[in-house]
A and B are shown apart, each in its own frame.
Chain A
C-alpha cells in the first residue's frame, strides 16, 4: 500500500528512535539486545508481504476489521456539524488494542518467542494480549497494579479465562505505571523466550514506532471510508483520546498528510502534553507529569486507560511542531459526553473514548469547531468495562 510505505519512510523515527528530541531507548543495558532484536524483526516483518498478509487476514476474519464508520446522525444534527465515528468499539475484545496486539503477537511468533509479557491498566490491553496469546497458542503474563486489579476485577477474570497469568504489582502507586516498570523488570529476566508486548505508542525504540504502525490501520481505513462518506473526502478535524496515544497515533497516521486539524484529547488529571515536562520514563524521553524534584506523578482520570503520567514520544513531537494540537477535558465533561452519546446514538463508549466526544461537544459550543465542519472521531472502545464506575457515580 502506498500510504503505508510512505509513512514508514517519511515518519519512521530517525536514528535511535527519535521523534524530534523525544523517544530513544533509555533502558538498562540488559535490555538493549532485546530491543534491537525486536527492531530488526519488525523491520524485516514490516517489509515482508507475507507478514502483512497474515496480519491483514487476522484483522479481517478474527478481529472484525474494517470496523464501521458510523455517521452520528442525531448528534450531528444537534451540533450542526458532520460527525463520523470510527468504531474501534466494534473490534474483537472491545477496543483498538487488538490491532496492536495481533501485530506484536505475530511478530513474537516469527521471532520464535513463546510467551507474551504485558502491562495493563484498565485491563483492555491485558485482555487483548491474553486473547492473542490464546489464538496463537502462546502463553501470556500480564502485570497489573493491585489497585487496578481491585477496580477492574472483571477484566482480571477475563484474562484468566483466556489462560493468561495475571501478576499483581504491589509497588509504588500500584497502578499502570508500576505495572509497566514491573513488566520491564520481568522482561529483563526472560528475554530468551519472552516478548514484551507493549500496549501503547510508548516504551523504548522501536515500540512507539511499531505500535503506531500496527495501529495505523485505524487511520488508513478511516481515510478510505471518509472518502466515500464525505463530500470533502477528508474531514476538517480528526479527534482521538490520548492515554499513551496509540489510537490517536494510528488515527493521525492516516491523515497527517492532509489539511485536517489533528486533535488529541487528554484527561485533565493526566495531561502529559499539557502539564508535563520533558523527562525519561519507561525507556523513552517524552513529556511526563513530574514534581519539581523529577519524581513521577500519578495521573488521575476517571478513565483507567488514560491514567498514565507520560505520553507517546511522537505526540510530544507533533505537539512541539504544532502539527497536532492537544486539549484537556474534565471528568465531569467526560461523564456528560458518555451519556449524550448513549442517548443520541445508542452507543455506550469507553470513558477513554468519551474524552474525544467531550472535546467535540465543547469545541462546537465555543466555536473552535465552526458550524458545518466535518469531524472524524475515533471511538477507541466500548463502555461495558466502565458500567460499574458509572453505576457508582449515579
Chain B
C-alpha cells in the first residue's frame, strides 16, 4: 500500500479557541484548486493563509525545453480564461525581442480577438461572482453569452478555449469570412444582455449589501502590492497598460478606462471591482466596433519568421490582460530555446493581498472578496 500524507504547515500562533477551516482545494467557490486556510473566530476571519501550487504545471520549465513557437500552446494554458491575451502578450514580447514589425491587419485582428477575450473572461468573472454570492442564474446567462464569443473564436481558429492563434509575427489563420458579420450580430445582442445582467445582479439590493463596502482595497496598498488591472482600477486609479504603456495599436481607438468610483460604498470595495468589469466590457465592445470598421486587408502570416533565433538578451514586456498586468520576462541565450521565461501573472500578485483584504470579515465575505479579485489558478500556479 502506498503511503500518502499531507503536510500541513502549522502556524504556531494559533490559539485553541480558533477554528481552522479549510476552504479548498475542492470547494465550490475557490475558483479552482486554491486552498485557503481560514483561521476563524466563530465566523470572523482572523487570518487567511492561502496555499497555492495545486496546479503548478511547470510552465517555466517547459519553456526552457521548447522552441519559441512551441511555447505558445503552453502560454494558452496559463490563464485559460484569457488564452488569447496570453498569446498576445507573448507575441508582443517576442516581436520586441526580435525587433519585427507585424502587418497592420494582424494587429487589428489581435486587438479584436484580445478584446473579445476580455469580454469572455469578464463574463466568467461576473458570472462566477454571481454564483459565489448565491445567484446562480446570472452565471448561466454569462456563460450563454460567452458561448457566442467562443463560437467566434472557434470558427476562426478551430478551438474553443486554447487557441494557439496569435503567433510570433502573425496569426495562424486569417479571419473567417463570416467573422465580421457574426461579431456585429454578437455586439448587437450583447448590449441588452448586459443591461439585463445589471438589472438582475449589479443593482440588486441584496447583491449590493453583500459587496459594497466589503473588502476595501485602498489605492496605496494596491500599488505597493503590485495589484493591477480591474482590481487596481476598482481602487480608483486610472491605470491601464493599453494607455499607459502602449503596445500594439491601442492608441488608434477611442475608449475610456472605467474606474471604481465608490458608487455604492467605499472606493475599492468588491462592488467597485465587480462593476469596473461590467463597464470594461462595454469599452471593449467599443474597441471592437471601431476595429472592425477600420480593419485593413492584408496577409496575416507574412511576417512570421521561419526559424526563430533571437539574439542574446532579455526583455520584460507587459500587456493588459483581463486580469491585469501580464508580464513576460524572456531571456534568450541566442539558441533556439529560451533560457528563461518568467511570467508575471496578475492573479499571482493579486492573491497576495487577498489575505489582507479578508481579515475581520466573515466566512461569506471571503467568498465575495475572492470572487471580486477574479483569480485564475492556472496563472497563479503556472
**Pairing of A with B:** no
